[in-house]
A and B are shown apart, each in its own frame.
Chain A
Amino acid sequence: MGLNSFLFVLFVVISLFIYYVIPKKLQWIWLLVISYVYYITNSRGLVVFIASTTLTTWYAGLTLEKTEENKKRRLIVALTLLFNFGILAVLKYTNFLIVNINDLFHTSILQFSWALPLGISFYTFQSMGYLLDICWKRTAAEKNLFRFALFVSFFPQILQGPIGRYSRLAHQLYEEHSFDPGRFERGFQRILWGFFKKMVIADNALYFVNPLFKEYQTYDGVALFATVFYAIQLYMDFSGGIDVVIGIADLFGVTMDENFRQPYFAVSITDFWHRWHITLGTWMKDYVFYPISLSKWMGRFGKWSKKTFGKQTGRALPICVANVIVFLIVGIWHGAAWKYIAYGLYNGFIIGLSGLLAPQYREMRKKLKITKDTRWFYVFQIVRTFVLVLISFFFDMGNGFKDALIMIRNCFTKFEPSQLLEIDVGTVAASFKAPTAILVIAIGCIIVFIVSVLKERGVDVAGRIRSANFAVRILVYVIILMLLPLVGQAPLSSGGFIYAQF
Chain B
Amino acid sequence: MRNFKIFICLLVCAAVLVVNAKMTDFLYPYNEMRVVVHKIQTADYDTLIIGNSHGQCGIDPVALEQFGGMHAINAASGNEFVIDAYYLVRLAAQSADLKTVIYEIDSAYWMLDEAENCELVKVYHEFPPSKLKFRYFQDKILKSDFRTVPFEWYLYRNYLGRIDSLREMKSSDAYKNYSIEPFRSPVQLMQENGFIAIQRFEEDAPKADTSMTWHRENVKEKHLKNFKRLVDFCRENEIQLVCIMTPVPEVTFSKDQPFSEDSIAYFTALCESYDVPFHSYLTDGRDGITHDLADYDDYDGHMYFDSAYSFSAVLAIDLPKLIENGKL
**Chain A interface residues (CB < 8 Å from chain B):** 1, 4-10, 113, 181, 199, 427-431, 470, 474, 478, 481-482, 484-486, 488, 490-494, 496
Contact = CB atoms under 8 A, between A and B. Distances in A.
Contacts of A486: 154, 157
Interface stretch (B138-146, B201-209, B247-255): B138-146
B317 interface: no
Interface string B115-127: 1111100000000
Interface string B141-170: 111111111010111111100000000000
A304 to B, nearest CB: 53
Contact of A7 (B20, B113, B119, B142): B142
Contacts of A491: 116, 145
Nearest to B157: A430
Given A113-B217, A428-B119, A496 B154 contact: no
B158 A430 contact: yes
Contacts of B117: 427-430, 490
B5 interface: yes
A129 B244 CA distance: 57
Contact of A429 (B2, B5, B118, B149): B118
B154 A488 contact: yes
**Nearest 8 interchain pairs by C-beta:** A485-B154, A427-B117, A485-B151, A490-B116, A429-B156, A429-B118, A6-B146, A7-B142
A171 B5 CA distance: 32
Interface in B91-133: 113, 115-119
A427 B12 contact: no
Contacts of B119: 428
A113 B147 CA distance: 33
A4 B145 contact: yes
A482 B145 CA distance: 15
Contact of A481 (B16, B113, B157): B16
B29 to A, nearest CB: 7
Contacts of A431: 158
B224 interface: no
A481 B118 CA distance: 20
Nearest to A5: B143
Q: Which of B5, B146, B158 has the most CB of A within 10 A?
A: B146
Nearest to B20: A485
A485 B147 contact: yes
Contact of B147 (A10, A484, A493): A484
A216 B90 CA distance: 47
B155 A9 contact: no
B265 interface: no
Contacts of B158: 429-431
B146 A4 contact: yes
Given A1-B143, A5-B144, A470 B118 contact: no
Contacts of B142: 5-7, 10
Given A430-B117, A485-B147, A474 B154 contact: no
Given A6-B146, A484-B154, 20 more contacts: A1-B143, A5-B143, A5-B146, A6-B141, A6-B148, A7-B142, A7-B143, A429-B117, A429-B118, A429-B158, A430-B154, A430-B155, A430-B156, A430-B158, A478-B12, A488-B147, A490-B145, A490-B147, A491-B145, A496-B145
B14 interface: no
Contacts of B20: 485
Contacts of B143: 1, 5-7, 494
A484 B157 CA distance: 12
A133 to B, nearest CB: 37
Nearest to B152: A485
B8 interface: yes
Contact of A470 (B8, B145, B154): B8
A488 B147 CA distance: 10
B161 to A, nearest CB: 11
B116 A427 contact: yes
24 contacts: A1-B143, A5-B142, A5-B144, A5-B145, A6-B148, A8-B146, A9-B146, A10-B142, A427-B118, A427-B155, A429-B117, A429-B118, A429-B157, A430-B117, A430-B118, A430-B155, A430-B157, A470-B8, A482-B16, A485-B153, A490-B116, A490-B154, A491-B145, A494-B143
Q: Which of A429, A431, A488, A494 has the most CB of B within 10 A?
A: A429
Contacts of B16: 478, 481-482
Contacts of A1: 143
B9 interface: yes
Contacts of B145: 4-6, 490-491, 496
Contacts of A181: 2
Contacts of B155: 427, 429-430, 490
Given A429-B117, A430-B118, A481-B16, A470 B146 contact: no
Contacts of B113: 493-494
Interface in B1-47: 2, 5, 8-9, 12, 16, 20, 29
A447 B13 CA distance: 25
A431 B158 CA distance: 7
Contacts of B29: 429
Interface string B183-205: 00000000000000000000000
Contacts of B9: 474
B141 to A, nearest CB: 7
B153 A6 contact: no
B240 to A, nearest CB: 34
Contacts of B154: 430, 484-486, 488, 490
A474 B146 contact: no
A491 to B, nearest CB: 6
A494 B154 CA distance: 17
Nearest to A470: B5
Interface in B261-281: none
